[in-house]
Structure 1
Amino acid sequence: MKQVSQKIQAGLSTRWGFFLFAVGLFWLKTIYAYQTKFNLGVKGGMQAFLMTINPIPTTLLLFGIALFMNGRKSYITLIVVDLITSAWLFANILYYREFSDFLTFTLMKGSSSVSNNLGKSIAGIIEYSDFLVFADVVILIILLATKLIKIDRSIFMKRNAFAITGLSVVLFGANLGMAEADRSGLLTRTFDNNYIVKYLGMNAYTVYDGVKTTKNNAIKANADSSSMSSVLKYLKENRVSPNVEYTGVAKGKNVFVIHLESFQQFLIDYKWDGQEVTPNINKLYHESDTLSFDNFFNQVGQGKTADAELMLENSLFGLQEGAAMVTQGTTNTFQAAPAILDQQGYTTASFHGDVPSFWNRDNTYKSWGYDYFFSSQYFKEGKGYNVGYGLKDKIFMQDSAQYVEQLPQPFYAKLITVTNHYPYLLDKQNQSIAKTDTGDDTVDGYVQTAKYLDQALGEFMTWMEKTGLDKNSMVVLYGDHYGISGNHKKAVAKLLGQDKFTDFDNAQFQRVPFMIHMPGLKGGVNHTYGGEIDVLPTLLNLLGVKNDDTIQFGSDLLAANRNQTVAFRNGDFVAPDYTKVGSTYYDTKTGKALTKLTTKQKQRVLVLSEHVTEELSLSDKVISGDLLRFYTPVGFEDPDKSQISYKVTDAKAQLKAANKKSKTSVIQQNGGKSTMNLYQTDAPELK
């Protein structure tokens, strides 16, 4: 035993031995932090494997710096690097505990934001076990100080140091390749910092955030107030007057925006297995007091849901790469629906049954001016409550109602459903319709989750009727993006009863529902062509909110003589007369490809193409350059983000104070009693 101990001591007293021992200790403590201090949402063997190995490449690279030095300097350098990276890990543990996200350079630059998010007292959130992330540093120092490990003063060959650097790069490349294979677009879409950490590691996330921040800052640094001139000129020339007949018809009403995840227009009135897939949504769609749009398209890019939210609440397009909510949501100036309506006396709140950091909502919503953000932290947990990207819709909608009834009226409330999300999985006890029979696993479960979403919506609408909320509310429903991509042509053709599914068909398949329901509203099915970019100006006109000097690229869907060209993020478009897919133009009415354009057709498609290109490029300019900081509409005030907190205790205290001050909430109007006894759900998990 003594000989074994001596051999270990001798091995650790070599440069190689000490280096590998230090790397091993750092790896162990990082895995400990991943599993006990963060909620990375690891699912499946591949994600677990990548989370386990991802600290190794960057640790080899950083600790390898010490191998280029000799003697005492090498050991001191390694310990200093270890201490710095450990301190960074420690800081993220504290920040994550309070904010469910990781520190960014942008947040650190605005130190007040960090201090606000961390709370008034770090001591109040710190735990003794947090200090274990420094254990490896302490162990190394003690072993060297007691000379249980002796400093190796021999010359270390530089080629060996370079070999370690090379090995770290190769290992990181392999790590990244496996990560991209498991999560396509990991670094370009960037929907959640948790994903970067669990796939590539804390150090890689830090570098990624630094590069992203530098890139964004460079673009913004070159922008100034004159950069707005081309945007203002375009909007002046293209602004359309809203429909006067509908101006202010919903003034003072509550607004519910129901986000129908991955819900496509073809599901309206679609039948399978002898029954309607979405009877509740179908009923709303056809009611006389519902404005429904059958040529309404999703216009998302890589940001998918994030792009849809951005367009819906800002009338700005998503970026060509990545998600603006992630890359610019924390720092940019926005003039979004929540801030606009907040200044009209509305209480504003968003509801989502997933972690607050997804799509950077916890930061972006502050920039947009949301008073409240009810995320997964606010809702109860239980066995089988979650599926895929958060709480199942029936549980989520019921849980949301308990906060809706506390909101002072009028309010603007957005509820984001998630169950009808790819890969459309639903446990057997919640299935109420058979899968379709296309033979494509991605497609066939779609009707099951769509029906479940429809049932959840029906339960929520019934509760609204029982409480009387329906009489004083405008309900807006929209599909955020496609549910079935164009990669499933054969299955979609069978689903739709077609012989084939062409590129033109896929462009038309991008239709998603958009409907506005309100008692007394002059409704009907409207055939105008439009998209998510047009939602905000449409709603503001219905609410009677002045909207003639804002930076919005959409137009009121009810306006006469509006431009009906629907721009897609890749530059393609759909219009009532022509559709562009790649380099091919189609007659929209017949679907026929135009192989030889007439002179008149060439002129027309050129006008349409130039309009789309200009619209997208100017919107990108606004976001990338943060140009709204140079322009403020008359009467608008930027939200004070320092006064907004989505911490559960803060929000509940704020709601309590608001209800004391205002007697307009559903609870207050019900004599201070909750109406949750009126909410009925058949969710089996709650029985």
Structure 2
Amino acid sequence: MDKSNVLFLNFLDVIFFIVCVTFKILVYGKHLETGHMKFVSLFIPTIASVMIIVSISLFFNTGARSRMLYIFNIVISSFIVSDIIYFRYFKDIISLPVLANGFQLGAVKSSVSSLMNIKDFLYFFDIAFIVPFINRYVRQYGSNVFPDYKLPVVMLLLLFGVVLDFKSFYGLSREQPRLLSTMYNKVYITRKLGVLNYHCLDIYNSVSANITKLVPDSEKKIDEINTFIDNNKSDGKSLKGSAEGKNLIMIQVEALQEFVMGASVNGQEITPNLNRWARRSEYFNNFYYQVAAGGTSDAEFMTNNSLYPASAGSAYFLYSGNRFHAMPENFKKKGYSTAAFHAFRENFWNRNIMYKKFGFDTFYGEKSYRGNEIIGMGLSDRSFLNQSLIKLDSMKSPYYAFLITLTSHFPYDQVNKYGNFDVGSLNGTFLGNYLKAIHYTDQQLGMFLDSLDERGTLKNSVVVLYGDHYAVPKDRGNQLLKFLNINSTSDVNWEKLQKVPLLVHFPDESVKGVNNTYGGEMDVYPTVCNLFNLPEKDMLGKDLFNPINQRVIFRNGSFIDKNYYYSSGDNVYYSMKTGKKAAENDRLRKEKENVLDQLGYSDYILKHNVMDKLKK
């Protein structure tokens, strides 16, 4: 047998690892491609990271080398499959803080399983059926060829991989100077550097963040945050104190998206009750969800604190030891009684701890309700809202009551329990199931609000109702676009669909109409403070009735206003009027920097727990 054949057979495990793992990572990259980035651009950082692993494995003898590569193959494939499943729902890449919160998935098994695709597990095909035979052959027949050249070859391969990787990292750091340290856009990093480099960077930054917590606070940074907060406050001239002394009933509705408002299917209104109450309220039609990995918990975190979600993982877990100046505490200082209502497990999303931190007097969780009707994840919205009415009646006025619904939770697979709402040709589809679920929730909310009205409660109460996050993930987006007769699949059109309803109902309907102000969940708390004449402090959002700007910032660094949408995932600006790409100019570049500053301020407040060190 000639030397070339000997070389090939002795290093068959190495060659297969390089080819197969590189192929897997590139195919995985295709899942993240949007058309703005070329698939082949991933090849250089991918082959670089693969060669670094290979070079390290070559230091060992044949048996140890093949086992090491086999383990790396399993780990890499596991990351790929986990990332794909996570990306389908969250449109983000999994990270260490998310994994640390992973036990929460135990309560939403149906949601996770519905995101899985049998094709995902093809990434493990080689591990199960090919690699074991290759490794067995190499260990049995392989020999330690060319021992004299082993070290130079290994060092050359390692240098090759490191240089190529450094070039990729350096190029990205020049293009987006703060991206690698802040990790504010994990999808973009993965698209540019590959899955291996991303997860290594994630591990490094997660460890570094924990070390950074030990560093003393920076007075300069705190002064900078205080200056921003001062400049960000509105004059509060409109509706200042108009709800002072009234009750606040705030309702966070699971997966309520704005596109269902006013829409019909098969000749029937999808949300007739919410449509009716929107006409009796101030309705914000450009209100966006701003959640990240924390999902529903992020929404309630923002509306009660006006701080951004954690850059990775859930703030409810990562910062449960922090001090907050939350809405319930603010109301309590004004003599209000406060309570949170959510008929799910009390420790889910760490609510039993965080609600105390926020200043809620009482948390009515799963144990406070009779489980007499279960739909999906837990108690039906009908039973939850009916039982909550009784609990509200017992609250001492004035009060702040915060309610979270549950039945319309993804994956909307309890169609037989939602009633007989006929969605026509959409029957049996994902979108059709969602419309049935949200129609059911609309019925229950209608009865709840009508009951409050009949009891006379609304004469002395402000009701704030909003959706927490999206209902239709992008991989099911074609059904939604077809339903809405939208032909273009542009990023701008998709982003415009990421609105959730916000309605504010005033006593005697003294204020009502359609409000076109651009806002998001960060802006609820400052708006409430102005209406109820509460101290407005330590908030990064804006008062929606007195906005000094109408920019909505998302956790990944994207932002939107009435003129432009910036997609950080592609580093592209779009005109909101034409939907076409717009060139970056000095103003837009400054806007992008301001967005990153604000996200950085929120991260600093949370990571260093400096809330009490900010201005009172």
| TM superposition score normalised by structure 1 | 0.60
Residues 587-666 of structure 1: pairs in structure 2 closer than 5 A:
587-594=575-582, 597=583, 602-631=585-614, 633=616
Q: After TM superposition, give the deviation of residue 603 of structure 1 in Å.
A: 2.2
The aligned residue for residue 295 of structure 1 is: 286
Preserved CA contact (<8 Å) 1:489 1:500: no
Report the secondary structure of 2:523's partner residue: helix
1:271 to 1:609, Cα distance in 2 relative to 1, 3 A: same
Distance 2:267 2:576 in 1: 32
Q: After TM superposition, give the deviation of residue 607 of structure 1 in Å.
A: 2.5
Report the secondary structure of 1:247's partner residue: coil
- Partner residue of 2:230 out of 232, 236, 244: 236
* Aligned-residue RMSD, C-alpha: 3.2
Residues 230-309 of structure 1: pairs in structure 2 closer than 5 A:
230-242=224-236, 244-287=237-280, 290-309=281-300
1:411 aligns with 2:404: no
The aligned residue for residue 432 of structure 1 is: 420
Distance 2:353 2:212 in 1: 21
Tell me the alpha carbon deviations over residues 413-445 of structure 1, each in whole angstroms, 9 at most, x when there is no partner: 111011111111234243231246458833221
The aligned residue for residue 63 of structure 2 is: none
Preserved CA contact (<8 Å) 2:337 2:395: yes
Q: After TM superposition, give the deviation of residue 380 of structure 1 in Å.
A: 0.9
Preserved CA contact (<8 Å) 1:492 1:501: no
The aligned residue for residue 522 of structure 1 is: 511
Q: After TM superposition, give the deviation of residue 407 of structure 1 in Å.
A: 1.1
Partner AA of 2:98 in structure 1: R
The aligned residue for residue 647 of structure 1 is: none
- Gap runs ≥5 in structure 1: 1-163, 200-210, 634-687
The aligned residue for residue 531 of structure 1 is: 520
Preserved CA contact (<8 Å) 1:489 1:502: no
- Partner residue of 2:554 out of 546, 568, 571: 568
The aligned residue for residue 312 of structure 1 is: 303
Report the secondary structure of 2:556's partner residue: coil
Distance 1:485 1:170 in 2: 29
Tell me the alpha carbon deviations over residues 262-287 of structure 1, each in whole angstroms, 9 at most, x when there is no partner: 11111110101211111111011112
Report the secondary structure of 1:511's partner residue: coil
Preserved CA contact (<8 Å) 1:388 1:419: yes
Q: Larger deviation: 307-316 or 440-449? A: 440-449
Report the secondary structure of 1:450's partner residue: helix
1:359 to 1:192, Cα distance in 2 relative to 1, 3 A: farther
Distance 1:225 1:357 in 2: 34
Report the secondary structure of 1:282's partner residue: helix
Preserved CA contact (<8 Å) 1:476 1:515: yes
Report the secondary structure of 1:530's partner residue: strand
- Partner residue of 1:554 out of 541, 565, 568: 541
Query: Kindly, what percent of the aligned residue pairs are identical?
Result: 31
The aligned residue for residue 206 of structure 1 is: none
Report the secondary structure of 1:338's partner residue: helix
Residues 118-137 of structure 1: pairs in structure 2 closer than 5 A:
none
Distance 1:360 1:165 in 2: 38
- Partner residue of 1:492 out of 465, 480, 491: 480
Partner AA of 2:283 in structure 1: S
Q: After TM superposition, give the deviation of residue 618 of structure 1 in Å.
A: 1.0
The aligned residue for residue 42 of structure 1 is: none
Distance 2:553 2:304 in 1: 17
Preserved CA contact (<8 Å) 2:415 2:437: no
Distance 2:576 2:81 in 1: 42
The aligned residue for residue 375 of structure 1 is: 365
1:438 to 1:606, Cα distance in 2 relative to 1, 3 A: farther
Partner AA of 2:304 in structure 1: E
The aligned residue for residue 408 of structure 2 is: 420
How many residue pairs get matched? Answer: 450
1:409 to 1:510, Cα distance in 2 relative to 1, 3 A: same
- Partner residue of 2:337 out of 343, 347, 352: 347
Distance 2:395 2:208 in 1: 40
Partner AA of 2:446 in structure 1: G
Residues 321-332 of structure 1: pairs in structure 2 closer than 5 A:
321-328=312-319, 330-332=320-322
Tell me the alpha carbon deviations over residues 616-654 of structure 1, each in whole angstroms, 9 at most, x when there is no partner: 111111111111142362xxxxxxxxxxxxxxxxxxxxx
1:575 to 1:429, Cα distance in 2 relative to 1, 3 A: closer
1:337 aligns with 2:327: yes
Report the secondary structure of 1:529's partner residue: strand
1:189 aligns with 2:183: no
Q: After TM superposition, give the deviation of residue 183 of structure 1 in Å.
A: 6.8
Residues 386-465 of structure 1: pairs in structure 2 closer than 5 A:
386-435=374-423, 437=425, 441-465=429-453
1:316 to 1:412, Cα distance in 2 relative to 1, 3 A: same
Report the secondary structure of 1:589's partner residue: coil
Q: After TM superposition, give the deviation of residue 370 of structure 1 in Å.
A: 0.8
Preserved CA contact (<8 Å) 1:436 1:447: no
User: Quick check: which has more Rg, 1 or 2?
Assistant: 1
